[in-house]
Structure 1
Amino acid sequence: MGKRAKRGKAETLALPKAARVAIGAVAVAIVGYSLLSRPAGVQSQQKPSPHQAQASSSPVYVATPAHVSVPAPAPIPAPAPAPLVEPPKAAEGPGAFVRQVVDYASHQTPGTVIVDTKNTFLYFVLNDTQALRYGIGVGREGFTWSGEQTVARKTEWPDWRPPTEMLVRQPYLPRFMAGGPGNPLGARAMYLGETEFRIHGTNKPDTIGKRVSSGCIRLTNDDVVDLYERVKVGAKVIVLPATAAQMQSSGPKIAEVQ
């Protein structure tokens, strides 16, 4: 091949190479211009991940640490001592005949028994100002009595022999009934002097607070057992007339018993 032909071939190959160089220079110039024209304070940011986006959207509050003084615990007050005497209850209501200690000014010797016929209560005197009160049943109209007696004797589960006067009024009554749960005298009996009257229990507790007897004073079996253990043979028993006892607002009181 001649020199002319070789030169033409070299020029043909050189033109595309020059074009590539020119294109590359133009690209470099464009990139450089874009870098120079961007504000210096702007930086490229990557798109946050979903976890990062959620975390950044939740507000965070940081409390300023402060010194908190804890007050000393208040002292626990000591419980009040239980009263030595149960306060008296009103005469009305289902609890009125429950055995209880009450204020009672009698000025009688401790151990004396006072029967308040009007209000159907029996008092066992403890001291000058207190007594143990029981609910009782008393004589019905025409069979009440009053006066002073002594406890002549005491019997557990007493036998019952109705007096002649009672048999005249109620001839259907048995002439004798052995002591036991079915006996109308109940669990205990305290006989008053030489009379036919007794303080005794009953197999009909629903009659307490009522006027149903023929003159005897009746208590529930639980109460008569309690009273039986307290009362001594020879103890004084005062039965007040139905008009003598007075009830005061501060508790059961009576005028001084002579």
Structure 2
Amino acid sequence: MFSKSSRVVLGSLCAASAAIALAQSGPKAVSAPTPSVPMADKTFAPPGTKGSPIIGEIFHAQVLLEAAGFSPGVIDGKKGMSLTQAITGFQESRGLGTNGTLDGPTRQALLQGARPATIKVKLGPDDVHSTYIFPLPKDPALQEKLPFLGYRNMLEKVAERYHTTPATVVALNSPQALIGPGQTLLLPNVVPTSRDYAGVPGKGATVMNLLNVDARQPAGKSILVDKSAGVLKVLDADDKLVAQFPVTMGSTHDPLPVGDWKVTTYAFLPPFHYQPNLFWDAKDTATEHMLPAGPNGPVGVAWLDLTKEHYGIHGTPNPETIGRAESHGCIRMTNWDVMRLARMMKPGFAAKFEE
């Protein structure tokens, strides 16, 4: 049923996934997604041309903002709240007018980074080799039986490794482009300038490498989680803003734990103890489960533990929802952003949460 073919058509992955779901009885771990044929009803407009979902200027700004330490969330070439937040934070850090727009002074400051928007990547093992799980069940009882909560297919993995979405990878390359070992794709230019992860404990260095986290990061002393702004700010020893990330924080049922806390320990690729009594939306019949680790697990690739019991800063299997959904009280970030935060901060750092 499952092939180890090294080439898969980008635009066909969703259709292939649907077909497999109908044909198999349960989730399985596979070494590669099943190949398929191009989706003939898909048209392709190159980035920057009429009909493309990617706005070239926005896309380049997102790449430059992330490189400067002010994450826009997923890099997709679209305007939105996370982009405005990132621009505002960057402007504050550079002493510019904080209007949240790409005005002249902001463009000029960003372009000092001298980083092209895209890069051509010949896909290698770090890009495409993984344990793929399809279909990925939502039921914790079924998830518990899996060896790993991995990516669904190569397209999903490549998208996360390059801090974007599967749809954006397709939009950059066309639905007829091939994905697999040795294939070349145009991707967001988030390739690190340094991969020296000396001193990173446990599985952290491996995850940082796989998620293209640059080893060279500003040193943070504390963080401020600002609910009104929807961001997590990294402050240095002089309380200067040096980095910023969009986050999802709390909900009506599980509000942000306002106050002063500390982040004491880090866990990379952690398993997750699902305790339904801690989730207001869990069914009354739900039971506890120990879920395996993986980027598509409930807390993504990392858990940074807060001194408030049951609360932490963690990753997510759905990066496109950051800032647009609610959490169960914790601070949720994209997988690549939570790993970058872990690189900036030493365990034991102070965390202030405010409305």
With structure 1 as the length reference, what TM-score do the two structures score? 0.52
Q: Secondary structure at the match of 2:224?
A: strand
Name the counterpart of 1:13.
Answer: none
Alignment correspondent of 2:266 = 154
The equivalent residue for 2:303 is 189
What CA RMSD, in Å, does the superposition of the two structures yield over aligned residues? 3.4
CA contact under 8 A between 1:85 and 1:102: conserved in structure 2? no
Question: Residues 176 and 87 (structure 1 numbering): CA distance in 2 closer, same or farther, change over 3 Å?
Answer: closer
Q: Which residue of 1 aligns with 2:42?
A: none
One-letter amino acid of the counterpart of residue 233, structure 1: P
The counterpart of 1:96, out of the listed 74, 84, 87, is 84
Query: Which string of whole-angstrom CA distances, capped at 9 and with x for unpartnered residues, describes residues 164-183 of structure 1?
Result: 53256414475211111220
| Shift, 1:121, TM fit | 0.2
The residue type paired with residue 154 of structure 1 is Y
Gaps of 5+ in 1: 1-83, 242-258
Q: 1:136 aligns with which of 238, 241, 247?
A: 247
Seq. identity, %? 22
> Which residue, 294, 303, 307 being the options, matches 1:180?
294
For residues 38-83 of structure 1, give each alpha carbon's deviation from its aligned partner in whole angstroms, at most 9, with x where no partner exists.
xxxxxxxxxxxxxxxxxxxxxxxxxxxxxxxxxxxxxxxxxxxxxx
Checking the alignment, whether the CA contact within 8 Å between 1:120 and 1:210 is kept in structure 2 is no
In structure 2, C-alpha distance between the alignment counterparts of 1:121 and 1:173, rounded to whole Å: 34
Q: Secondary structure at the match of 2:291?
A: coil
Give the secondary structure class of the aligned counterpart of 2:253: coil
Shift in alpha-carbon separation, 1:175–1:98, aligned structure 2, 3 A:
farther
Alpha-carbon shift at residue 211 of structure 1 (Å): 4.3
Structure 1 pair 142–95 and aligned structure 2 pair: CA distance change class (3 A): same
Whether contact under 8 Å (2:71, 2:244) holds in the other structure is no
Task: Tell me what 1:117 maps to.
Answer: 227
The aligned residue for residue 145 of structure 2 is none
Question: Equivalents in 1 of 2:344, 2:224: separation in Å?
Answer: 14
1:1-258 residue pairs with structure 2 within 5 A? 93=81, 95-96=83-84, 101-103=90-92, 110-126=220-236, 127-144=238-255, 145-163=257-275, 165-166=277-278, 169-171=281-283, 172=286, 175-241=289-355
- Report the secondary structure of 1:183's partner residue: coil
1:202–1:134: structure 2 CA closer, same or farther, 3 Å change rule? same
Does the aligned pair in 2 maintain the 1:155–1:190 contact within 8 Å? yes
> How far, CA to CA, are the matches of 2:297 and 2:320 in structure 1?
15
Q: Secondary structure at the match of 2:261?
A: strand
**Offset at residue 131 of structure 1 (A):** 2.9
TM-score, structure 2 normalization: 0.38
**Partners of 1:87 and 1:102 within 8 A in 2:** no
